[in-house]
C-alpha cells in the first residue's frame, strides 16, 4: 500500500517542530510524501498573526530542497472556512491509489472529537499521532473505547486497512511552538535554530519593515 501524509495546521509561522516530526513520520511509515496543508480560517481559533500569503511563502521556503515535502494550498484557495472532512474527501479523489494519513501532534489530537464530522474522518484516512513535549494521550471520555480500539504503535498495521487506524508515533521531541516564535519576534528576541534560516531571515525582514 502507498501512503501520503497530510500535516494540517495554521503554520503561524512554520517551525522545526513541524518539520522534523514530519520527516520522522515520513521515514518511519515510508510515506511517499507529506503535504503541508495550511488552513485559512481555522474554525475554532482566532485569526492568525501572519497573513495567508506570508504563511504560505514561509512553508515554501522551509521545504525547499525536500522533494517529499509538498505545499498543499487547497484550503487557502477555498472560499470560507474549510473542514478537514471535506479536504480529505477531495484528496481521496485526487489520490485514489493512496491511503491517506492525517498527521497531528498529541496536543491537536486532544481536540479531535470536537472536529466537524470526526467519525467520518476516520472513514477517509488513518491518523498518525506524534509525540510533543508537554502533551499526553488524552482521555476521550464517552469516545474512549471507540478510539482506543483503533490505536496501535505498530506501523505495519496501517497496511491492514485503507483508513481508520490510529498510529501513535514517537518523533523527535522539540519543545517549539509558533506561539513562542511570535512572542520572541514581538519582544525582539532571536528565533535562530527554532526555524530554518531562510524562514528566520524573511520573518526578521518583515518585523524590521513594520517596526
Ligand atoms: P500555536 O503555538 O500557534 O498554537 P503550533 O506551534 O502548535 O501553533 P500549528 O500550526 O498549530 O503549530 O500545528 C500544526 C500541527 O503540528 C499540529 O498537529 C501540532 O500538534 C503539530 N506540532 C506543532 N508543533 C509541534 C512540535 N513542536 N512537536 C510536534 N508536533 C507539533
What are the pLDDT digits (tens) for 120-169?
Answer: 999 999 999 999 999 999 999 999 999 999 999 999 999 999 999 999 99
Residue 53 lies in a domain: yes
The residues, ordered by sequence, that sit 6+ positions from 160 with a Cβ below 8 Å of its Cβ are none
Residue 27 lies in a domain: yes
Domain presence at residue 185: no
How large a percentage of the chain has pLDDT more than 70? Answer: 97
Where residue 198 falls among pLDDT bands split at 50, 70, 90?
Answer: very high
Q: Is the minimum distance from the CB of 179 to ligand 1 under 6 angstroms?
A: yes
Task: Collect all residues with Cβ–Cβ distance below 8 Å to 65 and sequence separation of at least 6.
Answer: none
Q: Quick check: 9 pLDDT over 90?
A: yes
Looking only at the bridges linking them, the beta strands covering 151-152 and 33-38 are unpaired
pLDDT band for position 41 (cuts 50, 70, 90): low
SS3 166: strand
Residue with CA nearest ligand 1 atom 29 = 132
Cα–Cα distance, 112 to 131 (Å, whole number): 15
Q: If you measure from the C-alpha of residue 27 to the centroid of ligand 1, how many angstroms do you get, rounded to a whole number? A: 19
Residue of 134, 192, 128, 171 lying closest to 20 (CA atoms): 171
In a domain, 28, yes or no: yes
Q: What is the mean pLDDT of residues 162-188?
A: 97
Residue 103 domain flag: yes
CA of 71 to the centre of ligand 1 (A): 16
Q: Residues 6 or more apart from 51 whose CB is under 8 A from it? A: none
What is the model's pLDDT at position 46? 80
Residue 57 in domain = yes
CATH number at residue 15: 3.40.50.620
Domains of the chain: total: 1
On whether residue 9 sits in a domain, the answer given is yes
Q: Is residue 188 part of a domain?
A: no
- By CB atoms closer than 10 A (0-12, 13-18, 19+), residue 121 is buried
Residue in this structure with the C-alpha cell 485559512, named with its chain if needed? 40
Q: Which domain holds residue 24?
A: 2-173
> How far is the centre of ligand 1, averaged over its atoms, from the C-alpha of 18 (Å)?
6
Return the number of other C-beta atoms located less than 10 Å from residue 79's C-beta.
7
Place 51 in a pLDDT band, splitting at 50, 70 and 90.
Answer: very high
From the CA of 9, how far away is ligand 1's center (Å)? 7
Pocket test of ligand 1: the residue of 177, 181, 182 to mutate, having most ligand atoms within 8 Å of its CB, is: 177
User: In the chain, what percentage of residues exceed pLDDT 90?
Assistant: 91
Q: How close is the Cα of 17 to the center of ligand 1, in Å?
A: 7
User: Which numbered atom of ligand 1 lies nearest the CA of 10?
Assistant: 10
Q: Read out DSSP for 62-127?
A: HTTT-TTEEE--HHHHSSS---HHHHHHHHHHH-TTEEEEEEEEHHHHTTGGGSTTHHHHTTT-EE
Please tell me the number of Cα atoms within 13 Å of 54 on its side-chain side. Answer: 15
Amino acid at each position: 500500500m502507498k501512503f501520503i501524509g497530510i500535516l494540517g495546521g495554521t503554520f503561524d509561522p512554520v517551525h522545526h517542530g513541524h518539520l522534523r516530526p514530519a520527516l520522522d513520520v515520513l521515514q518511519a511509515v515510508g510515506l511517499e510524501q507529506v503535504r503541508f496543508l495550511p488552513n485559512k480560517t481555522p474554525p475554532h481559533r482566532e485569526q492568525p498573526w501572519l497573513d495567508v500569503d506570508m504563511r504560505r511563502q514561509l512553508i515554501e521556503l522551509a521545504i525547499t530542497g525536500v522533494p517529499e515535502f509538498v505545499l498543499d494550498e487547497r484550503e487557502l484557495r477555498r472560499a470560507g472556512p474549510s473542514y478537514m472532512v471535506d479536504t480529505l474527501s477531495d484528496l481521496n479523489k485526487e489520490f485514489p491509489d493512496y491511503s491517506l494519513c492525517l498527521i497531528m501532534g498529541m496536543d491537536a489530537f486532544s481536540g479531535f472529537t470536537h472536529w466537524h464530522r470526526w467519525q467520518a474522518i476516520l472513514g477517509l484516512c488513518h491518523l498518525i499521532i506524534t509525540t510533543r513535549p508537554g502533551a499526553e494521550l488524552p482521555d476521550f471520555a464517552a469516545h474512549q473505547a471507540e478510539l482506543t480500539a483503533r490505536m496501535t504503535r505498530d506501523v505495519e498495521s496501517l497496511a491492514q486497512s485503507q483508513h481508520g487506524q490510529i498510529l501513535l508515533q514517537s518523533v523527535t521531541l522539540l519543545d517549539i511552538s509558533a506561539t513562542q516564535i511570535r512572542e520572541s519576534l514581538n519582544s525582539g528576541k532571536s528565533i535562530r535554530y527554532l526555524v530554518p534560516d531562510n524562514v528566520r531571515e524573511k520573518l526578521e525582514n518583515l518585523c524590521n519593515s513594520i517596526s
